């Protein structure tokens, strides 16, 4: 086949890919509408399984407000991560890294690795950094004449966030490694070396990111839209620290005095020492938020810079405030009616050592669409998954890790997180949602294969 024929074939594939993304975008409802659809489906299932209308309504209401503390924790994670990403330190680092690539492949590879590294360290940081990395790398590539489709790159980098699933902020593994967790009497303590640092988990992390780079490069639309066609997104790379008009009185001088944030940081550092050093507690979501807040204050240096950046960052968290209660109500129908038990029983009845990872991942995907929370999902499915894993002749760790594949599969196929990423990037989530489904399929197949056969 000649070079010209290869080029035509590549262009044809790119056109089909763009068409697929556009079609999926037209049919995918927003996150709130999706929660209503799921509510209707699960209500019908609950009633068909013999749950009374009163019990079903109570289950929904009980679930509706059960994630309020977690909603606030999530809001802080997203807002503080955005604030952290806006610090001169991170903006300078991203800007310098975006200037390194000289070719399209290098631009794809470096941007994916940067995003995956941020997500591995802290999932909230990965979410906040994804739009910034996409904009900076796309803008620098356009300046150099390197063709990068901004929307495809955004979907690719969101897929790279899967690295968090077995990273340092993995919710379920951290919870199971904490003494006193809700399943300790059933399964005991699961050390991190047997979950996120098991051979299977490490193999998946490395192989998925490597394959993602190759596939992202090969499928990059040849005639894609540059970032300059998205002026609102471009502003992300232009926004720096707010211009300081200077202090006019005593209170304004306090806002600009670095001693004030240092005092807060000292208090936060003392709490962290008490948490980890004195009480010997493990990393949890409150500790992560404390670390994030401390880091934001240190890097912004003054209360003025911190609060000015905070005002812009708050805009990115609007979906969480109402969407989480909507999904929590749906989760209540699973957790507080017989729906969850029946579905889990069906999985257990057909499980074998070779089919269990697939079934766990598949059921995890279904629940993750309803419950966009890794920790919340494990609370709902953890007991059933642990019992089913033992019955199928596999370790609880394998069950947890396989379920995590489904958890992130849900993140990659449901609109919830796309809305958040799109909100930060200032684009319509439907414009890149279709691309994400391709990477979702890759994640699911690779994860099921590895957690079926690799040691863990």
pLDDT recorded at residue 8:
47
Mean pLDDT of the chain: 84
| CA separation for the pair 218, 109 (Å, rounded) | 12
Residue whose token pair is 């208090």:
267
Query: What are the residue ranges spanned by the domains of the chain?
Result: 10-241+315-453, 250-314
Of the pLDDT bands very low, low, confident and very high (cuts 50, 70, 90), residue 71 is: confident
Query: Is 26 within 8 Å of 286 (Cβ atoms)?
Result: no
| CA separation for the pair 456, 448 (Å, rounded) | 13
SS3 195: coil
| CA separation for the pair 104, 153 (Å, rounded) | 11
Query: Is 205 within 8 Å of 120 (Cβ atoms)?
Result: yes
How many CB atoms neighbour CB 216 within 10 A? 26
User: pTM score, two decimals?
Assistant: 0.76
- DSSP of 38-78, one letter per residue? HHHHHHHHHHHTT--HHHHHHHHHHHHTTTHHHHHHHHHHH
Instruction: Tell which wins on pLDDT, 226 or 85.
Output: 226
pLDDT in tens, 375-417: 667 766 777 788 888 888 999 999 999 999 999 998 898 777 7
Rg over alpha carbons for the chain, rounded to the nearest Å, is 23
SS3 302: coil
CA-nearest of 116, 112, 110, 107 to 161 is: 116
pLDDT in tens, 301-322: 899 889 888 888 887 677 678 8
Span of 284-288, 291-295, 355-359, 370-374 with lowest mean pLDDT: 370-374
Residue whose token pair is 């993304």:
21
Instruction: Tell which wins on pLDDT, 23 or 317.
Output: 317
pLDDT in tens, 184-204: 888 999 988 999 999 999 999
pLDDT recorded at residue 259:
92
pLDDT recorded at residue 16:
62
Helix (H) or strand (E) holding 359: helix 356-370
Of the pLDDT bands very low, low, confident and very high (cuts 50, 70, 90), residue 361 is: very high
pLDDT recorded at residue 10:
44
Residues 6+ apart with CB under 8 A from 125: 81, 84, 85, 118, 119, 292
Span of 64-73, 117-126, 263-272 with lowest mean pLDDT: 64-73
Mean pLDDT for 115-124 is: 88
């Amino acid at each position: 086949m000649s070079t010209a024929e290869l080029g035509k074939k590549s262009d044809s594939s790119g056109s089909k890919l763009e068409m697929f993304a556009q079609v999926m975008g037209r049919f995918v409802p927003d996150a709130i509408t999706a929660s209503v659809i799921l509510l209707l489906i699960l209500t019908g299932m609950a009633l068909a399984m013999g749950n009374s209308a009163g019990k079903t309504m109570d289950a929904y209401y009980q679930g509706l407000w059960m994630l309020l503390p977690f909603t606030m924790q999530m809001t802080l994670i997203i807002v503080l991560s955005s604030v952290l990403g806006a610090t001169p330190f991170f903006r300078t680092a991203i800007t310098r890294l975006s200037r390194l690539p000289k070719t399209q492949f290098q631009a794809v590879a470096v941007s994916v690795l940067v995003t995956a590294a941020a997500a591995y360290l802290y999932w909230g940081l990965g979410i906040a950094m994804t739009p910034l990395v996409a904009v900076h790398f796309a803008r620098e590539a356009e300046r150099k004449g390197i063709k990068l489709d901004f929307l495809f790159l955004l979907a690719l980098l969101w897929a790279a966030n899967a690295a968090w699933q077995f990273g340092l902020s993995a919710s379920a593994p951290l919870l199971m490694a904490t003494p006193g967790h809700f399943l300790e009497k059933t399964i005991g303590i699961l050390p991190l070396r047997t979950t996120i640092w098991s051979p299977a988990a490490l193999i998946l992390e490395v192989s998925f990111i490597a394959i993602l780079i190759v596939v992202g490069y090969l499928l990059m639309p040849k005639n894609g839209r540059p970032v300059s066609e998205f002026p609102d997104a471009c502003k992300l790379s232009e926004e720096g620290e707010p211009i300081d008009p200077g202090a006019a009185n005593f209170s304004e001088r306090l806002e600009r005095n670095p001693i004030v944030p240092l005092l807060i940081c000292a208090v936060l550092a003392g709490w962290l020492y008490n948490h980890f050093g004195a009480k010997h507690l493990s990393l949890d979501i409150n500790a992560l938020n404390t670390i994030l807040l401390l880091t934001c204050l240190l890097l912004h240096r003054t209360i003025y810079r911190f609060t000015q950046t905070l005002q812009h960052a708050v805009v990115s968290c609007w979906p969480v405030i109402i969407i989480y209660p909507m999904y929590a109500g749906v989760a209540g129908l699973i957790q507080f009616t017989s729906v969850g038990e029946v579905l889990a029983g069906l999985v257990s009845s057909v499980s074998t050592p070779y089919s269990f990872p697939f079934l766990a991942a598949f059921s995890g995907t279904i629940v993750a669409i309803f419950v966009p929370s890794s920790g919340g999902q494990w609370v709902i499915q953890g007991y059933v998954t642990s019992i089913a894993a033992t019955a199928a002749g596999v370790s609880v760790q394998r069950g947890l890790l396989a379920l995590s594949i489904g958890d992130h599969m849900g993140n990659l196929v449901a609109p919830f997180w796309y809305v958040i990423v799109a909100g930060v990037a200032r684009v319509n989530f439907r414009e890149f949602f279709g691309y994400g489904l391709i990477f979702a399929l890759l994640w699911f197949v690779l994860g099921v294969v590895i957690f079926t056969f690799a040691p863990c």
